[in-house]
Structure formats: C-alpha cells, structure tokens
Amino acid sequence: MIMTSGISPGLFVAGTDTGVGKTLVTAALVKLLRRNGVAAVPFKPIHTGCPHAQAAPDLDFVLAGVEEDPGSLPPRDLLAPCRFRHPCSPHLAARLEQRAIDIARIFDCLRRLRRGGLFPVVEGTGGLMVPVSPYYSMLDILSAMSLPVVLVTRRSLGTLNHTFLSLALLRQRLIRVVAVVFNAVQQDATPEYIARDNARTIREWGRVPQLGNIPFIPGCADRPAALVSRAAEHLDLIPLGPWIGK
C-alpha cells in the first residue's frame, strides 16, 4: 500500500449532528481509500453506546462494510480506545461510569496508527460542540489532531443553519474543511428543488467542495457490506487528492 508523505496523514469525519451518517461515510471512505492503495483504517476515539466490554457498533459496522480480513487490521482496542456503555453524549456516558475519557490514550493510539504507516479515518462522536469532559468539546479533540475534515450533513430542510454553524466553528479554529458529503439517512419529505438549492447554497456560500451526495439507500439495513458499497458509489475521491497523496 502507498503511504502518504509530507502531510499529516488522516481525515476526520465530522457531522452536523448525531445520526447524520458519519459511520456510513467513514466506512465508504475507508473502502474507497483502500481500493486506491491508501492504508486507511477506521479510528473511533470516543465510542458511546457500547453495551458490553467488547462491543463497538460503529467500528464493527465499518469493518463489516469494508469487508477486510479483521486479522489484517490493528486490534480493536487501538481502533476504538475509549468505549462507554450508555448511548449518549461522551461527557454523560463517562460521568455515568465514573470514568474520565483518557485523552492521552486517544492521542497515543493515533500516533501508533500513524507510526505503523496507516491512514486513520477518524469518526467524531455526535456534532462538534458535544462535550467530552468538563473542559473539552469534540471540536477541541479534533482541533488537537490537526486533521483535515470531511463534514457529513443533510440536504433536507434545516440543513443550512446546521451546516453553516459547523463550517463557521471549524474555520474559526483554522481547521481545514476538505469537503462536505450530503447524506440522507431516511426518505424525507423535502421537495427536490429545496434539497438541490440547499446543496448548491452550501457549496457556493460555504465555499466548500462536495465529495458526494448519498441518497437514502433502502433495503440494506442488515447488510453493512451492501450499504457501504452502494454509498461508496456516490463518493468522489478527487477533492481529497492532495490529502491522500494522489
């Protein structure tokens, strides 16, 4: 596999909200990048909603979707180092278990992945301003990782405010936003002329390229590999060129 050089290797997949499609986009990106000779691996630094010690549903979805032999990938403790039971914001999940989120461990795992020549595709938790501890937000963690961001958002009604707030926050921190991905997690009632204008307004007013527009994909809820393959067909790696050494 070709290694990237000269740029901070990796991407951060952020979302305007929880449930917007970050895990699906992470999986589709890992799959496409690996197909293009980039040694991409998923990294979920803070994973809530893991009901038992070995559970990591987002990571498992990505691994199932990417269809790589799990033996060829780093161990799950490295790919999802901070897992919590409750399916809620990290600050609450950590408080309920009376356990702090180990920030040093997260950055140590990230370093180890990079040192192993891997290209981490990092999935955030929730939206940018989700609290991680009494002192840090998800945005602070992302900012400290120095990674370019792919922002997953909707095309449906209400997306303009959420997307522009997220873009404004990222740019205020001088975080590079590489592209947005539009994704539809459900069939929604937004008329197409509004959805189309939302996407155009985000690209033009937000001055951000579009990496893809993934429609709602029905009938694949129990088949991650099929869902990820279909989603990947709607993504275009060209805007990522400089960030993946291509």
Ligand X SMILES: Nc1ncnc2c1ncn2[C@@H]1O[C@H](COP(=O)(O)OP(=O)(O)O)[C@@H](O)[C@H]1O
**Which residues have a catalytic role annotated?**
44
Does 92 bind ligand X (CB under 6 A)? Our answer is: no
Least distance CB 185 / ligand X (angstroms): 4
Compute the distance between CA of residue 13 and CA of residue 221 in angstroms, rounded to an integer: 21
> Could you give the residue ranges of the DSSP H alpha helices within 6-72?
22-35, 57-66
Q: Which residue has the tokens 């070709």?
A: 2
Selected binder of ligand X within 106, 138, 149, 214 (CB under 6 A): 214
Interacting positions 173-192 with ligand X (CB under 6 A):
183-185
Q: Which of 4, 23, 159, 198 binds Mg ion (CB under 5 A)?
A: 23
Closest by Cα among 66, 58, 80 to 33 = 66
User: 237 in helix, strand or coil?
Assistant: coil
**Site mask for ligand X (CB under 6 A), range 23-52, x = bound:** xx----------------------------
* Contact flag: residue 153 with ligand X (CB under 6 A): no
Least Å distance between CB 37 and Mg ion?
Answer: 26
CA dihedral 131, 133, 139, 140 (to 10 degrees): 160
Q: Compute the least distance from the CB of residue 7 to Mg ion, in Å.
A: 25
Instruction: Point out which span in 52-60, 78-86, 153-161, 219-227 binds Mg ion (CB under 5 A).
Output: 52-60
Pair 12, 148: CB distance under 8 Å? yes
CB-facing half-sphere around the CA of 122: CA atoms within 13 A = 30
Q: Which stretch binds Mg ion (CB under 5 A): 14-22, 140-148, 168-176, 209-217?
A: 14-22
Return the number of the residue (19 or 116) whose C-beta is nearest ligand X. Answer: 19
Residues 4-23 touching ligand X, rule: CB under 6 A, are 15, 18-23
Which residues 6+ apart lie within 8 Å of 125 measured at CB? 18, 44, 45, 46, 47, 48, 89, 90, 132, 138
End-to-end CA distance of the chain: 13
Report the residue number, 4 or 183, with the smaller CB distance to ligand X: 183
Residues 6+ apart with CB under 8 A from 75: none
- 22 binds Mg ion per the rule CB under 5 A: yes
Q: Distance between CA atoms of 238 and 244, rounded to whole angstroms?
A: 10
Residue 47 CB, nearest distance to Mg ion (Å)? 8
Specify the stretch interacting with ligand X by CB under 6 A; choose among 106-114, 135-143, 171-179, 213-221. Answer: 213-221
Output Rg (C-alpha) for the chain, integer angstroms. 17
Binding site for Mg ion (CB under 5 A): 22-23, 58
Binding site for ligand X (CB under 6 A): 15, 18-24, 183-185, 214, 216-217, 227, 231
